[in-house]
Amino acid sequence: MTTGHDERNLGRLGLISAQKTVPATLRTWSRDITLPDGRPASILCSVSEGQTVPHGLDNDVMVGLISLCFEAGLPSDGKFSTSAYRLLKACGFPTTVQYYRILEEALKRLTDAKYTIKEGWFRQGEQMWSTQMFSQIMYLAYNARSALGGGSVITVRLADPITENLRAGYIKPLDVGFYTSLSQPLVRALYRQLDARRFDEHRSDGLAPGFQVGLRDWAASLGILSQRSDKVREALSGAHQELVERDYLQDAKWSGRGMSATLEYVFADLPQTQRPELVEMMLARGVKRGMALRLTTLFPDRIPEAARRFDRYLQTAKTPIGNRGGLMVAMVTRPEDYAGLDDAGLSPAPSSTERPARPPRTRAQREQDEAQLEARNEAEVAVLSGQALLDWVLRQLSLTGVLKHLNALDRSRLGELVLHGQIDGRQLVRRALQSLSQGPAAQDEVRAELRQLLDGTWSPAVGS
């Protein structure tokens, strides 16, 4: 997984300490913050007795969960299932026994930690700053006889404020490939917060050249506990050097002494795109240059189709579009939300950045295209096995609504059966997909068959 998204509040607020380790007795912290518009806000984090506040690699786990939530289709309740193996890969972790243990502890911390954010959480739907109280993971379920393993099925529900903003589009692209390639939790957390500040929708080009921040506030935002300026400087200097060497930062300049010092960050230029025509396509539809450059790097294959959908929507919209650039960005980052526009039957209007629209395809041509696409998809699925097959089955059953009817024990049992080849996962998915077009009775039948399958009294590979 090389491309992804970040919820903008999470990227900016630093709810998880960047330190690799924290004292075992650290169960609460609080800090005052300043919002982008200059108003004050505050954050309080607390955990249960015997637990510690989220820190270190927990940042990577949240990045992985957000990526997988998008992969699951952004369910309205924020609840989705995945295998422990798939989550490790999404986090950029090795698939070793040690990291399965690390993952399990991180999930527990993220579920236990309670946050109170006073007037510091932006709600995209209401376009207002608000007070929110939540755990980043509101629900966690998994089944493991002793500890998490590759076949363990994990079900999580992200906090409602997070899910609402993800679905409302309060997100920014995140180069997950670059993020996971960075060497240490502190470097990754620093990059995440820097990137949240780099893309500034209030600037004409949407891109901040840099910013200044006080060392005391910056250390608190990153969750660095030391109050010794030399220790903080030492930790940050190593992270700065890595980000400069990786051409993300041009410079990080210090001024002043002690914890009252100031840091000035200067961002390096974004890499020159190899597809300038895609940037122009985005600019012509209201996207600011900074965002256009990032999206062209992350999602080049999506942009032409998003532009066609955007133009179709302009032709059919009955009310003026208030934020044309925001709509275009959403169509690139969340194409599944706008797939229905393909049925509009309209040809996009040619523009200076596009070739003239092709003549409408005949019904026979469309059917041939669909058959070729289906054959290609079936060929890709046919070669899946082991973990890859299980991950595909879980995604498909989640998207078809079947998985939500299973509890944690059932999901774990299903994972074991698919992994060990005791059921035909492909056939199960085919039955689930067919039932969507056959109505509620067929869907109930699939769920009943699945219940019998899990109880060991039926196999979808027989007589179906």
Q: 114: number of CA atoms within 13 Å, CB side? A: 5
- What percent of the chain has a predicted confidence (pLDDT) above 90? 45
Q: 154: which strand partners?
A: 82, 142
| Residues 83/66, Cβ–Cβ less than 8 Å | no
**Residue 25 to residue 76: CA distance in whole angstroms:** 36
Task: Out of 104-113, 230-239, 283-292, 365-374, pick the least confident.
Answer: 365-374
Look at residue 359 and tell me whether its pLDDT is greater than 60. Answer: no
pLDDT at residue number 301: 84
Same domain, yes or no, for 335 and 386? no
Same domain, yes or no, for 327 and 380? no
Does 371 map to a domain?
Answer: yes
Does 193 map to a domain?
Answer: yes
What burial letters (b/e) apply to 269-295, b meaning 16+ CB within 10 Å?
ebeebeeeebbbbbbbbbbbbbbbbbb
Same domain, yes or no, for 403 and 334? no
Q: For 113-155, what is each residue's pLDDT tens digit?
A: 999 999 999 998 777 899 999 999 999 998 766 678 877 889 9
Does 18 map to a domain?
Answer: yes
Same domain, yes or no, for 237 and 201? yes
| Residues 279/296, Cβ–Cβ less than 8 Å | yes
* Domain boundary residue, one of 309, 337, 360: 360
Same domain, yes or no, for 245 and 378? no
More confident site: 293 or 298: 293
Mean of per-residue pLDDT scores for the chain: 84
* Domain boundary residue, one of 360, 376, 392: 360
What's the domain count of the chain? Answer: 3
| Residues 112/379, Cβ–Cβ less than 8 Å | no
Q: Which of 227-241, 291-305, 322-336, 424-438 has the highest mean pLDDT?
A: 227-241
Q: How far is CA 5 from the centre of its chain?
A: 4
| Residues 185/20, Cβ–Cβ less than 8 Å | yes
* Domain boundary residue, one of 360, 382, 400: 360
Average pLDDT of the segment spanning 361-376: 54
Range of the domain at 440: 367-455
Same domain, yes or no, for 393 and 326? no
Surface-to-core class of residue 341, CB atoms within 10 Å of its CB (0-12 exposed, 13-18 middle, 19+ buried): middle
Q: For 398-414, what is each residue's pLDDT tens digit?
A: 777 787 788 767 777 88
**pLDDT range class, residue 16, cuts 50, 70, 90:** very high
Distances from the Cα of 398 to the Cα of 63, 78, 91, 150, 433, angstroms: 20, 12, 20, 19, 11
Average pLDDT of the segment spanning 37-41: 85
pLDDT at residue number 360: 53
Q: 333: number of CA atoms within 13 Å, CB side? A: 29
Q: For 421-440, what is each residue's pLDDT tens digit?
A: 888 888 888 888 877 767 78
- Residue 72 corresponds to which tokens in the numbers above? 């699951």
Same domain, yes or no, for 354 and 381? no
Q: Which of 171-180, 214-223, 275-284, 412-421 has the highest mean pLDDT?
A: 214-223
Same domain, yes or no, for 215 and 305? no
Helix or strand (DSSP H, E) at 79:
strand 79-83
Same domain, yes or no, for 309 and 399? no
**pLDDT range class, residue 357, cuts 50, 70, 90:** very low
Record the pTM.
Answer: 0.70
pLDDT at residue number 345: 42
- Residue 234 corresponds to which tokens in the numbers above? 């030492």
288: nearest Cα among 335, 328, 337: 328
**Residue 127 to residue 160: CA distance in whole angstroms:** 16
**Residue 124 to residue 122: CA distance in whole angstroms:** 6
Q: 130: which strand partners?
A: 121
Average pLDDT of the segment spanning 389-405: 79
Does 183 map to a domain?
Answer: yes
Same domain, yes or no, for 353 and 241? no
Q: For 211-229, what is each residue's pLDDT tens digit?
A: 999 999 999 999 999 989 9
Does 117 map to a domain?
Answer: yes
In sequence order, what DSSP letters do the residues of 320-375 get, joined into one string?
Answer: --S-HHHHHHHHHH-GGGGGGGGGG--PPPP-TTSPPPPPPPPHHHHHHHHHHHHH
**Residue 122 to residue 278: CA distance in whole angstroms:** 31
Same domain, yes or no, for 219 and 342? no
Does 112 map to a domain?
Answer: yes
Does 438 map to a domain?
Answer: yes
pLDDT at residue number 337: 66
Same domain, yes or no, for 171 and 309? no
More confident site: 99 or 407: 99
Does 79 map to a domain?
Answer: yes
Place of tokens 């999930």: 107
